[in-house]
A and B are shown apart, each in its own frame.
Chain A
Amino acid sequence: MSSWTARLENPVSAQLRDPAFSGYLGVFFGVLAAFLAIPPIEARTLTWSVLCGVIAMLFGVWTITRGRARLGWGAVASGVLGAGLGILATHSGTTNLNTVFNAALIAQTLAAATPLVFAAIGGLFSERSGVVNIGLEGMMLMGAFWGVWGADKGGSWVVGILVGAAVGGVLALVYGFFAIHLRADQIVGGTAVNFLALGITGYFLFQIYNSDHVSNINSTIPNVNIPGLDSSHFLGPAIGHLNLMIWAGFALVILSYIVVFKTPIGLRIRACGEHPRAADTVGINVYAIRYGCVVLSGILAALGGVYLSDGYGGGTFINNMTDGRGFIALAALIFGNWRPGGAFAAAVLFGFSSAVALRLQVYSASAATLFNVLPYVLTLIAVAGVIGRTVPPAADGKPYAKQ
């Protein structure tokens, strides 16, 4: 065992032996299995999908035996899902198939994923600095309501974004005061934030609009229309008219990766989350870093909320609009192992599952409802360690007392 790991650590042989390649190849074949069966290719025989699915599974099993259990299981799962989807697709009518799977599904996936991306990246900053944030749901909800309110009263979606982000930041600051300064239990504090947000948004929604919802706010976050893409009947509906916030979400993921892993400030943030005493000893202000990260997490989660109400929702807010999305974002963060790329991939996967769930209505409303459990089941399996370990920052959730 020890000689085996030692050989793995040797850079040259590690590269040669790295089973990641076979794992990704497996995932690719799984995706291919599903892709062959749906438009625009739409193979009407089972053979190709099943073949690709089996290849994916074989690559997966091989990867597992080479030590990359998570990736391997991922490849196996994608093979099973791909073959399954392929079988389903070849058995259903072409019209239905075109309703469920078309280029717009990509746009819808990204639209559903973007609130999760913002909140998950927010949670990433907070948890990387050592503060667990299960109040993401509440911060998102506050952003959703006050964003719509700002866009309505301020007359512009820009005002909405600013107001929503500010309110999210203030709520996070309150949470930070309790979690960092008073060293209160962070789970209790986060729960309190969720209750508070539900109460405050519900109260002011009725107080201001005298209803349990508000809709048709005039100024909504605009779409970015890319000229020239409309000529392509695939790229046009897929990415030609995405909302501004979706593009901002992409940028956020890249930016947060650079900040967290490639800059001194990111190193400080991670130090506070792994070993705050050591960070303190070398002169890092742990409290300042944690406050900054928690407030940033509130701002980002709230931006996700503003997009949900004033972008995706088209200027609508209804009571308890987030409906668990903050918790899906938390799940994406955990599933993505507290890394920006991982969290993004998980958010897109969960966004895809909710977009498909919406479209499955044409087959069966009942199955569509049940499809919504997917993100939670996957995350439960992930934390169970079946598909490799999820490793949170070492000091995540532990208050730090200065000496």
Chain B
Amino acid sequence: MSNIDPNSSPPESPEKAAASGTLIASLALRQRAGGVGVPAATVLVAFLMGGLVVLATGHNPLLAYRDIFNGAGLNWIFHPTTNVANTAAYNLSQTLLQTTTLILTGLAVAFAFRCGMFNIGGEGQYLIGLVVGNWIGVDFAGLAPLPHILLVLAAGTLAGAAWAGIAGLLKATVGAHEVISTIMLNWIAIWVGAWLFGDGGPLQNTANPTVPISNDIADSAKLPVFWGQQQLQGLHIGFFIALAALVVFYLVLNRTTLGYEVRAVGFNPEAAAYGGINVKMNLFRAMAISGAFAGLAGAIDMTGYLYHFGQIDVQTSSVGFLGIAVALLGRNTAVGTGLAALLFGALLFGTTHGLSSNVIQPELAGSLTYIIQGLVVLFIGADLLILSVWNSRKKLRPRTKAVTA
């Protein structure tokens, strides 16, 4: 325990850090080799600190976490059943529904990261995918199921790619920072979405013009449900599409020329350019592929279980932002993103709809998710640097002490 904890909490005691310096160095090595130690410790510390907040406000953190665990349906592993009449099985299916989305929005952030860019615009790209998915799902009602579904998914993916492509294009041509442009694109997408689904908007439902919600998509555009019932928001086959996306992400990055170039630009753009790689082209391409993942997430959510979307939903949606935490915690790798998506999917459902608890109300637990998410992102952004700072402290102890004083 003691050799893991200091890695993710701020370096309060240099002595302690110096004492376990060799362990930290070896951990850092394992980290670079794709280890799970530091991310796991980060999560642990975040949960501990979240628990302290719960404790300080007069609730029992252990019982609260147990209820969240059950609310996410993770207790299902003790009594596996495929019957969703069972609460644990139903909750698990809902957690996996959230995981599906988060895998894809996480990959959207991760792919750009591997090219050295921070795609903070997953939310906007996701919303654009949703909007286009809803439009095609509603308006092309005459199509047969398979082509209709494929059309919706393809259109949502392309729309997401195009939306992120704007930021990629600006980065490649005029050097506009992708963080600024994707933030702006997020809010443009949010307000355009609110307008489309709102009162008098083009995608508002036709039956009841005072309700700011879209029409339901046609049955032919709905993804088949394989666990649970369609009416009760069962788990749809989009889950497997998300898993396949993880594999595609891995293969594209590690086994193709495109992936090689994207990673080369991510490591060192100048060296990549010297090696004959078209840096600008790759910046644009990586950003568009990023957006494609998020757009696909939106289209899958629309065809998988949402079927319609409202103005309020646009303004409160946060799965795109959550993708940032997923990618960072997953270290921008396929396996890591999958596991992190499961963790945050469980937190998302387990703290809100799934939670039946006298210990902590869903309103509190839902905010606790954001606190834990924030702490994870805060620590994960610094953990490697904490390691290196400690390593240098060990070497230059007298001098660094003077610096921190």
Identify the A interface with B (CB < 8 A): 134, 174, 177-178, 181-185, 187-189, 191-207, 212, 323-324, 327-328, 330-331, 334, 364-366, 369-370, 372-373, 376-377, 379-380, 383-385, 392, 402
The 5 closest A-B pairs by CB, nearest first: A199-B370, A196-B374, A195-B374, A202-B367, A188-B381
Partner of A206, one of B166, B328, B363: B363
Known A191-B377, A206-B363, A206-B367: A182·B10 in contact at CB below 8 Å: yes
Partner of B184, one of A192, A379, A385: A379
Partner of B386, one of A182, A193, A323: A182
Interface residue? B200 (CB, 8 A)? yes
Partner of B370, one of A174, A198, A334: A198
Q: Is there an interface contact between B385 and A183, defined as CB atoms closer than 8 Å?
A: yes
Q: Is there an interface contact between A185 and B170, defined as CB atoms closer than 8 Å?
A: no
Highest count of chain B CB atoms <10 Å: which of A207, A379, A384: A207
- How far apart are A104's CB and chain B's nearest CB, in angstroms? 25
The DSSP consensus for interface residues of chain B is helix
Contact residues in A for B364 (Cβ distance below 8 Å)? 203, 206-207
Q: Which segment, of B171-179, B243-251, B287-295, faces chain A?
A: B171-179
Bound CA–CA A195/B373 (angstroms): 7
Q: Which segment, of B15-23, B131-139, B186-194, B272-280, faces chain A?
A: B186-194
Contact residues in B for A184 (Cβ distance below 8 Å)? 378, 381-382, 385
Known A380-B188, A402-B403: A189·B381 in contact at CB below 8 Å: yes
Q: Is there an interface contact between A199 and B192, defined as CB atoms closer than 8 Å?
A: no
Q: Is there an interface contact between B184 and A376, defined as CB atoms closer than 8 Å?
A: yes
Q: Is there an interface contact between A191 and B324, defined as CB atoms closer than 8 Å?
A: yes
- How far apart are A182's CB and chain B's nearest CB, in angstroms? 4
Which chain A residue lies CB-closest to B170? Answer: A384
Mask, B170-212, CB within 8 Å of A = 1, is 1000101101110111011011101100111100000000000
Interface residue? B120 (CB, 8 A)? yes
Identify the B interface with A (CB < 8 A): 10, 53, 57, 118, 120, 166, 170, 174, 176-177, 179-181, 183-185, 187-188, 190-192, 194-195, 198-201, 311, 315, 321, 324-325, 328, 361, 363-364, 366-375, 377-378, 380-382, 385-386, 389, 403-404
Contact residues in A for B321 (Cβ distance below 8 Å)? 191, 195
Bound CA–CA A163/B138 (angstroms): 50
Known A182-B386, A207-B364: A376·B188 in contact at CB below 8 Å: yes
Contact residues in B for A188 (Cβ distance below 8 Å)? 118, 324, 328, 377-378, 380-381
Q: Is there an interface contact between B374 and A134, defined as CB atoms closer than 8 Å?
A: no
Q: Is there an interface contact between A177 and B191, defined as CB atoms closer than 8 Å?
A: no
Contact residues in B for A182 (Cβ distance below 8 Å)? 10, 382, 385-386, 389
Contact residues in B for A196 (Cβ distance below 8 Å)? 370-371, 374-375, 378
Partner of B188, one of A189, A323, A366, A373: A373
Known A178-B378, A187-B179, A370-B191: A365·B367 in contact at CB below 8 Å: no
The DSSP consensus for interface residues of chain A is helix
Contact residues in B for A327 (Cβ distance below 8 Å)? 183, 187
Q: Is there an interface contact between A373 and B191, defined as CB atoms closer than 8 Å?
A: yes
Bound CA–CA A396/B374 (angstroms): 23
Contact residues in A for B369 (Cβ distance below 8 Å)? 199
- How far apart are B190's CB and chain A's nearest CB, in angstroms? 7
Contact residues in A for B372 (Cβ distance below 8 Å)? 199
Partner of B367, one of A174, A191, A203, A324: A203
Known A203-B364, A324-B190, A330-B183: A187·B120 in contact at CB below 8 Å: yes
Bound CA–CA A129/B364 (angstroms): 37
Partner of B195, one of A193, A199, A201, A366: A366
Contact residues in A for B201 (Cβ distance below 8 Å)? 366, 369
Apart from A182-B386, A188-B378, 16 more pairs, CB < 8 Å = A134-B120, A174-B378, A182-B385, A183-B385, A185-B381, A188-B324, A192-B378, A193-B374, A200-B371, A207-B364, A330-B183, A365-B200, A372-B194, A380-B166, A383-B180, A384-B181
Which chain B residue lies CB-closest to A212? Answer: B363
Q: Is there an interface contact between B120 and A191, defined as CB atoms closer than 8 Å?
A: yes
Contact residues in A for B177 (Cβ distance below 8 Å)? 383, 392
Highest count of chain B CB atoms <10 Å: which of A191, A194, A204: A191
Partner of A383, one of B170, B368, B386: B170
Which chain A residue lies CB-closest to B373? Answer: A195
Known A207-B57, A327-B187: A178·B363 in contact at CB below 8 Å: no
Bound CA–CA A196/B49 (angstroms): 12
- How far apart are A134's CB and chain B's nearest CB, in angstroms? 7
Bound CA–CA A376/B170 (angstroms): 15
Partner of B176, one of A183, A364, A384: A384
Bound CA–CA A151/B361 (angstroms): 26
Bound CA–CA A377/B321 (angstroms): 20
Q: Is there an interface contact between A383 and B328, defined as CB atoms closer than 8 Å?
A: no
Q: Is there an interface contact between A376 and B380, defined as CB atoms closer than 8 Å?
A: no
Partner of A202, one of B176, B198, B200, B366: B366
Which chain A residue lies CB-closest to B190? Answer: A324
Bound CA–CA A317/B380 (angstroms): 31
Q: Is there an interface contact between A206 and B361, defined as CB atoms closer than 8 Å?
A: yes
Contact residues in B for A195 (Cβ distance below 8 Å)? 321, 325, 370-371, 373-374, 377
- How far apart are B139's CB and chain A's nearest CB, in angstroms? 19
Which chain B residue lies CB-closest to A185? Answer: B381
Bound CA–CA A177/B9 (angstroms): 12
Q: Is there an interface contact between A380 and B361, defined as CB atoms closer than 8 Å?
A: no
Which chain B residue lies CB-closest to A386? Answer: B174
Q: Is there an interface contact between B374 and A384, defined as CB atoms closer than 8 Å?
A: no
- How far apart are A129's CB and chain B's nearest CB, in angstroms? 18
- How far apart are B125's CB and chain A's nearest CB, in angstroms? 15
- How far apart are A285's CB and chain B's nearest CB, in angstroms? 11
Q: Is there an interface contact between B374 and A192, defined as CB atoms closer than 8 Å?
A: yes
Contact residues in A for B386 (Cβ distance below 8 Å)? 182
Bound CA–CA A187/B321 (angstroms): 13
- How far apart are B127's CB and chain A's nearest CB, in angstroms? 13
Highest count of chain B CB atoms <10 Å: which of A134, A174, A181, A197: A181
